Amino acid sequence: MQAAARRPRTNHLDLAQRILDVARQRGFAPGAHLPEQQIASLCNVSRTPVRAALRLLTEQGVVRWEAATGYRLAADLTAQAAVAADLPATAEDELAEAILRDRSARRLDQTVTVVGLMRRYEAERKTVLKALQRLTEENLVDRAPGQSWLFRRAPDDPEAQGESYEFRLLLEPAAILTPGFRLDGARAAALRQGMEALAMLADAAFDTREFQRLDIEFHDMIADGSANRFVADALSDHLRLRRLPGTYAGVNVFRLKQSLREHLTLLDHLESRQYEVAADLLRVHLRLSRSQRPQAASRGAPALFGMISRPD
């Protein structure tokens, strides 16, 4: 019997994902040079794990090696945003995803134990602990007394979704209006390209998972732009909860495409430093998204978004 393929080390997979995130946020195009030292500096690690992560990405066809120049980006990360999904997963990553799916489907209680998860998933103790540690780092679960772990409340029911939007309505427009707000130009350009490409797809080909990634990335960019670290941290922590499976369930493609157009209009004004207008538009955008009803969106969006053209 052929031996099973050896799984890549978790830290190399994590770093490979970070490299993709950095390349995507900075708008790296296919053929862009990926110097090991520059990547190491951007990711705040040494060159040795960077080399291993780049080899892993090379095996996946995302990066290519050229003897004369070194590593170069081979994939269009904007048109191929699901590249990360093709990376091999560690046992703890697979278990963490299974735990999140089961929690979203209410197959797991709000409180779980290591022993209970070991039994349910027929997993080793160290794998369960690593999966729970990963979810803790992402602020999705909290350690409880003893061997228990507590899921944080996620915006996955109407009441929680309403509270989530109220929280974001309080903080996200304020993030834009904080003195010193700064937009990451390269990150904004990469997001614009991805959103425009997704908005052009036919409804039948629309990728909800890609919308989820772009949506979270867009709002996280606003959070990161805030000069107030407490506002930025609070928003970033909350936006992680929107990664949970089922968060976008029930929203139709009409509304999702309209949301993309609203993002693009917001981006126009952010890039033009019209922050007061952008903050007002963001409030409308969040209220429309909270309603999640096409008829409400049709009444509200053209009245404000449709009347404001792209700034010169």
CA–CA distance, 46 with 88 (Å, rounded to integer): 22
* 108-147 pLDDT tens trace: 888 999 999 999 999 999 889 988 988 887 778 888 887 7
Low-confidence stretches of the chain (pLDDT < 70) are 1-11, 78-89, 155-157, 244-251, 292-312
Single-letter amino acid code for the residue at 51: R
- Which pLDDT value is given to residue 156? 67
Backbone angles phi, psi at 251, to 5 degrees: -90, 125
Backbone angles phi, psi at 244, to 5 degrees: -65, 145
- Which pLDDT value is given to residue 158? 75
- Whole-model pTM? 0.65
Domains in the chain (CATH in brackets) are 10-73 (1.10.10.10), 91-151 (1.10.10.10), 158-291 (1.20.120.530)
Contacts of 309 (CB under 8 A, 6+ apart): none
- Which pLDDT value is given to residue 296? 37
CA–CA distance, 230 with 140 (Å, rounded to integer): 19
Q: Exposed, middle or buried, 57 (CB in 10 Å: 0-12/13-18/19+)?
A: buried
* 152-184 pLDDT tens trace: 877 666 787 888 899 999 999 999 999 999 998
- Which pLDDT value is given to residue 35? 86
Single-letter amino acid code for the residue at 148: S
Contacts of 203 (CB under 8 A, 6+ apart): 253, 254, 257
